[in-house]
Amino acid sequence: MSRRREGAAPFPIPDEGGTALILALSLLFALSALSLLGFVAAHTDLLVAGHRKKEREMFFAEEAVLHIAVDAINDPVDPAVTVEDLASASAAFSTGVREGTFDHWKYFWRASFLADEQDRDRNPATETVLFNRAFGYGGSPFATGGHPVVRIDVAVEQGTRRGALTAGMTHIAVAPVIEAAWTAAGPLLLEGRVVVSGLDHDSEGRVLAGDEGDVPGIHAGGTVSLGAGVAVAGAAGEAAVVGHCGMPGGDPLAFLDPGDTLSRLEEIPAAPAEGEPLSGMVFSPGDISGSLQGQGLVVVHNPRYDPLRHEASRLAMEEGVFLPGYDPAYSHLDSSRQPATLEIVSGGNFRGIVVADTLGPVFEKTRIIGALVTLTREPLSLRADAALEVLYSRDAAAAAGRGDLACRLFFKSLPGTAERFAAMARGPAAAP
């Protein structure tokens, strides 16, 4: 029997120190690789975040310049696009290139009508894209149909950063149907210095030659009583027409036909603060007072006020007369359902259409060239201590249906290459 050599191990013992070193180095390498990957990922995230931040800044700068352009176009004192420009709807129209700076950005912009190069409005006779025809809306003020689309090109620059944008916009528009100088849903009692004329007038209030465009002076849904000094003239020698005034039950503002570029009349911009002049196309859900100055469409109507049900409730509760429009759930005494009142305390000269639930007393000389509509079906008693003139104008009533440039049809950021920016800076002929 062999004897084991003294001191010899029964089996080989591995080199534990070498294995531990290999494991430690492997772990250290793995940790280093993970750290490097994390550093690369973090650096990439920072680069992406920085790039996105610059993209957002560029986009906000482009959009800010678009607002600058729209404000300039809508400027009531010196508009970049005039009513004459819109009436002509000429493809050759252009504002020319405007330029300026803001917040360390240099910018250029120009506005022109969108040329109808591919007959997008399905009318070969038009040189510009007309919004209504192209997008299926009716009630256009143009014989060919549609409102011209205004294309706005924008370019911005800050150091080596350049961006560009193109947007297509059209005007807020309604298609009012006006049949008289003053359309009243209910009876009228006029006293004082009131003049109502359904003859066709120009923008200065002068009667136009001929009979074309004449309408009744007053079209009311009840008796019209004229006090001493009140003068009313209308078509075919009729001073006033008493009877159905074209405002049946339902939406009291349906005659304004908001189905053009608006879906609801509440989308019309809000009226200015109390005391400021009214001008342009504005909507007020409550009482307003001040000066009636400018041109456009002014609507003063409480949406919770229903003229038909309001009058039916009053007659039922006060006189015991029940009409088809009576609704027991509707109370004319409800404070939230009272008519909105237009008080022309500072007078003024307005060209367009004025719509109000009811009118307050007139204390200063006031002239409305276009048309006036009052929605209340209750007897409206109005006394004018100063001259109140309501002079029908076919052109003014038609123009009132077009408000500010506000409906955005398309909006696209473009590569801000040096060539595109340089072309924009050189002028409209070379712009993209």
Residue 295, token pair as written in the block? 């041109």
> Averaged over 325-352, what is the pLDDT?
91
Tell me the average pLDDT across 335-342.
Answer: 95
Average pLDDT on 172-184 reads 87
Which percentage of the chain shows pLDDT scores above 90? Answer: 28
Q: What is the pLDDT of residue 430?
A: 38
Q: Which domain holds residue 151?
A: 63-172+405-430
Task: Output 34 or 400, whichever has higher pLDDT.
Answer: 400
User: What pLDDT is stored for residue 275 in this prediction?
Assistant: 65
Q: What is the mean pLDDT of residues 226-249?
A: 75
Of the two residues 123 and 405, the one the predictor is more confident about is: 405
Confidence (pLDDT) at 240: 76
pLDDT over threshold 60, residue 239: yes
pLDDT at 95 over 90: no
**pLDDT for 39-74, tens place per residue?**
666 666 666 666 677 788 888 999 999 999 998 888
Residue 355 has pLDDT above 70, yes or no: yes
| CA atoms of 293 and 282, how far apart (whole Å) | 12
Same domain, 148 and 288: no
Could you tell me if 245 and 261 are in contact, meaning their C-beta atoms sit under 8 angstroms apart? no
pLDDT at 211: 56
In a domain, 26, yes or no: no
For the chain, helix (H) and strand (E) counts, in that order, are: 6, 19
| pLDDT surpasses 90 at 302 | yes
Q: In this structure, are 241 and 360 located in the same domain? A: yes
Report the amino acid identity of residue 121: D
Residue 112 counted as domain residue: yes
Q: Tell me what pLDDT residue 428 has.
A: 44
Residue 363 falls within a domain, yes or no? yes
Same domain, 151 and 192: no
Residue 241 inside a domain? The answer is yes
Residues 6 or more apart whose CB falls under 8 angstroms from that of 330 comprise: 306, 309, 310, 312, 313, 337
- Asked whether residue 43 is domain-assigned, the answer is no
Q: What is the percent of the chain where pLDDT is above 70?
A: 73
106 lies in the same domain as 245: no
357 and 390 share a domain?
A: yes
3-state secondary structure string across 306-374: CHHHHHHHHHHHHHCCCCCCCCCCCCCCCHHHCCCEEECCCCEEEEEEEEECEECCECCCEEEEEEEEE
Among 32-36, 276-280, 392-396, the least confident range: 32-36
75 and 203, same domain (yes or no): no
212 and 357 both lie in a single domain: yes
Q: Are 378 and 255 within one domain?
A: yes
Q: Is the pLDDT of residue 135 over 70?
A: no
Predicted local distance difference test score (pLDDT) of residue 177? 84
Q: What is the pLDDT of residue 432?
A: 38
Q: Report pLDDT for 134.
A: 46
> Across the chain, what does the average pLDDT equal?
80
In a domain, 155, yes or no: yes
- Are residues 102 and 232 part of one domain? no
Rounded-to-integer distance, Cα 81 and Cα 32, Å? 65
How far CA 211 is from CA of 198, 277, 376, in Å, comes to: 10, 34, 31
Among 12-21, 122-131, 267-276, 397-406, name the most confident range.
397-406
Q: What is the pLDDT of residue 1?
A: 47
Task: State the CB neighbour count (10 A cutoff) for residue 407.
Answer: 19
- Side-chain-side CA neighbours of 93 within 13 Å: the count stands at 25
Residue 290 has pLDDT above 70, yes or no: yes
* Domain co-membership, 90 together with 192: no
Write the pLDDT tens digit of every residue in 77-89. Answer: 777 776 566 666 6
**Which is more confident, 277 or 180?**
180
Residue 239 lies in a domain: yes
Give how many domains the chain has, as a whole number.
Answer: 2
Long-range own/partner contacts, residues 204-209 (CB < 8 A, 24 or more apart): 205/367, 205/369, 205/389, 205/391
How confident is the model at residue 356, as a pLDDT? 96
Domain match, 158 and 202 both: no
Looking at the domain assignment, is residue 38 inside a domain?
Answer: no
Q: What is the pLDDT of residue 262?
A: 78
Shared domain check, 217 and 117: no
